[in-house]
Amino acid sequence: MKRIILVLISLLMNTGILLAQETPIDVFPTVPYDRFIIYQTLVVFWIGIIGLIIIIKMKLKEIERIQSLGIDKEDKDTPLLD
């Protein structure tokens, strides 16, 4: 219960500090070229993340397929090279 109260108090204090600021802080570039570069970088980043998820999914399906075939299990009657 004490943690919840402390979290609520800290949130109220933070909002009070934010409301007390008089000058807004620019956090996003105002030049269109810089905004384009940021958006382009975000697109490449998310395409990469989605690509990695697809590759991991394909590898998991391949592992499941190999396990269902039983290829990874050793056969006792297989001749060995000595």
- pLDDT, mean over the chain: 82
Residue 38 and residue 45 in contact, taking contact as beta carbons nearer than 8 Å: no
Per-residue pLDDT tens over the stretch 21-30: 667 777 788 8
Q: What is the domain count for the chain?
A: 1
**Is residue 58 situated within a structural domain?**
yes
Q: Is the model's pTM score more than 0.75?
A: no
- Residue 1 resides in a domain: no
- Whole-angstrom distance, CA of residue 58 vs CA of residue 42: 24
Q: What is the pLDDT of residue 10?
A: 76
Q: Per the domain annotation, does 8 fall within a domain?
A: no
Asked, for residue 38, whether it belongs to a domain, the answer is yes
Structural domain boundaries enclosing 40: 30-70
Identify the pLDDT of residue 20: 62
